Structure formats: C-alpha cells, structure tokens
Amino acid sequence: MELSLLSALNAERAARRAAVLVTDIGTGAQRLVKAAELQQDPLAELIDRQLRTGKSGSVEVDGKAYFLTVQAPPPRLIVTGAVHISQAMAPMAKLLDLDVTVIDPRTAFATPERFPEVTLLPEWPDEVLKRQPLDAYTAFVALTHDPKIDDPGLVAALNSDCFYIGALGSRKTHGRRLERLAAAGFNETRTARIHAPIGLDIGAVSPAEIALAILGEIVSTLRGPRRKPATEPA
C-alpha cells in the first residue's frame, strides 16, 4: 500500500470515520474511498453494501474483480438512564459488539454493582457529550422519562450524525417531548429521526424484552441503508 493511502486510512480511523480500500485484483491498483465521498465513486452501491455489513470482501463488476477492505469504527451505544431496561440491555449489547456507555447523574442508580463491566458515567449528559461527541457509528437511547436528563442528550443526538436515536415513552410522553424540542428550534423533519415508541414491535413487556426490541431496531438501522448526514445544528 502506498504511504499516502496508509496515512489517509489512519486519519479516518483516528477520527472514527468509515473508509474502504478498493483494490483492483487484476492490476493491483488501489484507491481509498471515504464514507463522505462514497456517492462519487463508480462502485458506490457495492461499497455501501459492504460497509453496512462491516466486513471486507470481493466483488465483481463488468468482468473486473475488486477486493473491498472495510474499515468501520466499532459501533457505540450511549444510554441515558441507569434503569432496569439498560441493566438488561448492557450485556446483550456487548454480545453484539456494541461499546456501551450508560450516563445518569443519579448516583443511587448509576452504581458499578448494578452495571458491572460497563462504562458508567454518573454525570449530566450534556457534560459527557461535550467531551465525547456522538458520531455516525453511535446509537443514542434515552430511557429516564426525565426531561432534565434525556432532553440534553436528545439535543446532542439531533445535532450529530449518529445512526440511531430512540426515546422511551408513550405517544403522549413523546408528544410533550416534541413540543420541548420544537421550542428548542428543531423542526419536524429533524425530530422525525427519533424512534418513538422505541424498539421493534414484538409485544415487549418486561425490561429484558424491551431491551431486546431496542437492540433489534438498532441493529436493523446499523445494517440498513444510511441516511444523509445531519445539516445545521439547532
């Protein structure tokens, strides 16, 4: 690999941005396709499909064979709310290779005993998300029902390119949430990114079932077609 390609690939990796190294198997020629430049590439559809799997592989187009080396950041799951659902969700998410962080300033709930082997931050979400911005390989889930905790996280998520945003609550609760977000400057197009009611419709009742439904929706979104990046912040 040329040094310039390696340097560019490392820069994308350090910034948690996806990229694909395209190698022409016949000639050995290589080029780097960054996620932000994907649509301009002649192999855009095939590269996008490979990116969504998160795995490298070979493809053939018009009699020419290519190997697509995928570099995709490890997906992250950021949760506000050290609640029963997130307790059940954390070990399931780790099995799915999701890097889990639970944020909750309520120290009575955010304890290592309740969340072993999980990155647990007993802080306010807006403080955490200033230090750790959300990106295109991050899912954000709000679970507290407390606007003081959930809303700052939702604002950060809506101002980011995170691939999934979900919020727990009934349609009535979500309606009030949308009113608050509208007052904060978010229009309907932008708040439509929020999955609410959250999770796949599997008739979930228990915390573990709700956690399963949420994770199913997250995986479906991660592996499905990517939306266009967010535009102007609120």
Q: What is the pLDDT of residues 80-105, one digit of tens each?
A: 999 999 999 999 999 999 999 999 99
Note the pTM of the prediction, 2 decimals: 0.87
Task: Report the share of the chain in percent with pLDDT over 90.
Answer: 87
**Domain shared by 91 and 203, yes or no:** yes
- Amino acid identity, residue 128? V
**Domain shared by 82 and 188, yes or no:** yes
Tokens 């009575």: give the residue: 108
Query: Which residue range is the domain that position 205 belongs to?
Result: 76-223
**Domain shared by 104 and 213, yes or no:** yes
**Domain shared by 127 and 182, yes or no:** yes
Angle at 162 between CA 82 and CA 206, to 5 degrees: 35
**Domain shared by 31 and 142, yes or no:** no
Structural domain ending residue among the three candidates 53, 71, 89? 71
Cβ atoms of residues 149 and 104 within 8 Å: yes
Tokens of 198: 């959250």
Structural domain ending residue among the three candidates 71, 86, 117? 71
Parallel, antiparallel or unpaired: strands 164-167 and 194-195: parallel
**Domain shared by 151 and 47, yes or no:** no
Instruction: Give the pLDDT score at 2.
Output: 85
Residue 85 lies in a domain: yes
Instruction: Give the pLDDT score at 227.
Output: 54
Instruction: Give the pLDDT score at 106.
Output: 96
**Domain shared by 59 and 143, yes or no:** no
Residue 148 lies in a domain: yes
Task: Report the share of the chain in percent with pLDDT over 70.
Answer: 96
Tokens of 62: 């018009």
Per-residue pLDDT tens for 151-185?
999 999 999 999 999 999 999 999 999 999 999 99
H-type helices in 121-184, by residue range?
Answer: 125-131, 147-158, 171-183
How far is the C-alpha of 225 from the C-alpha of 15, rounded, in Å?
22
How far is the C-alpha of 64 from the C-alpha of 46, rounded, in Å?
13
**Domain shared by 118 and 201, yes or no:** yes
| Structural domains in the chain (count) | 2
**Domain shared by 58 and 111, yes or no:** no
**Domain shared by 93 and 66, yes or no:** no
Q: What is the CATH number of the domain that holds 143?
A: 3.40.50.720
